[in-house]
Amino acid sequence: MTASDRQSHWQAVYLTKGEQQVSWSQADPQPSLRLIEQIAPRRDASIIDIGGGASRLVDALLARDFHDLTVLDLSEAALASARQRIGAAGAAVRWVADDAAAWQPQQAFDIWHDRAAFHFLVAEGDRAAYLERLHRGVKAGGHAVIGTFALDGPEKCSGLPVQRYDPETLSRTIGPAFELIAHEAHRHVTPWGATQSFQFSVLRRR
């Protein structure tokens, strides 16, 4: 799938479905929020949410006085939905409509967060492009928090195939520049009551 195809797919999803009609919806963005709070060096830590879309993680971070926030997503409609929901507080957030496998980071971040974006990159070239940006986009000593479907998780999501991981295979895929320092299993319950198996890994940039 090309970057253009990915953009068209996710734009259509967010233009045609409400928040409670997508499987990844979370009223309480856990365990992402807890993991970020555990590793954030301070409240002015620079944080980017990759594939953040209409996620409520940015709301929760703002409520906890984090203020150096960037949300990147393929879908302008998803970002517009989040901005409308947050209101005036959203003016402090950098909203970036781009593909994480094509975007050019203008800075390195303290924390790179990705819940369920990386696992959609099933082509080796797309994964390599994403990882090149991950390596440039995290400061030495900074962290990446990456959530993907676990090995017993769904094989598809939103009609697209996914690549499933456990913490060890994710760590090997990301490479030796990052050290796996923590991981946990997570059972996500969709708005219609189905359960999906995720893994969340925390990796530190060497």
Chain center to CA of 48 = 8
Digit-coded pLDDT (tens) for 89-116: 999 999 999 999 999 999 999 999 999 9
For residues 64 and 53, which has the higher predicted lDDT (pLDDT)?
64
Digit-coded pLDDT (tens) for 158-178: 989 999 999 999 999 999 999
All domains of the chain in start order, with CATH: 3-17+26-205 (3.40.50.150)
Amino acid at 21: Q
For residues 31 and 8, which has the higher predicted lDDT (pLDDT)?
31
- Structure confidence at residue 62 (pLDDT): 98
Q: Which contiguous run of DSSP H or E holds residue 109?
A: strand 109-115
CA distances from residue 117 to 41, 45, 52, 97 in whole angstroms, order as listed? 24, 22, 9, 14
Output phi, psi for 129, to 5 deg.
-65, -45
Mean pLDDT of 72-90: 94
The pTM score is 0.93
Q: Are 190 and 25 in contact (CB under 8 A)?
A: yes
Strands 94-97 and 68-73: parallel
The yes-or-no verdict on residue 13 having pLDDT over 70 is: no
CB-hemisphere CA count at 13 Å for 149?
21
- Structure confidence at residue 8 (pLDDT): 76
Q: Which residue has the tokens 């320092």?
A: 181
Residue % of the chain over a pLDDT of 70: 94
Where residue 3 falls among pLDDT bands split at 50, 70, 90? Answer: low
The yes-or-no verdict on residue 136 having pLDDT over 80 is: yes
Tell me how crowded residue 9 is: count the other CB atoms within 10 A of its CB.
16
**For residue 174, what are its two tokens?**
């990301």
The yes-or-no verdict on residue 4 having pLDDT over 80 is: no
Amino acid at 184: E
For residues 37 and 23, which has the higher predicted lDDT (pLDDT)?
37
Tell me how crowded residue 174 is: count the other CB atoms within 10 A of its CB.
22
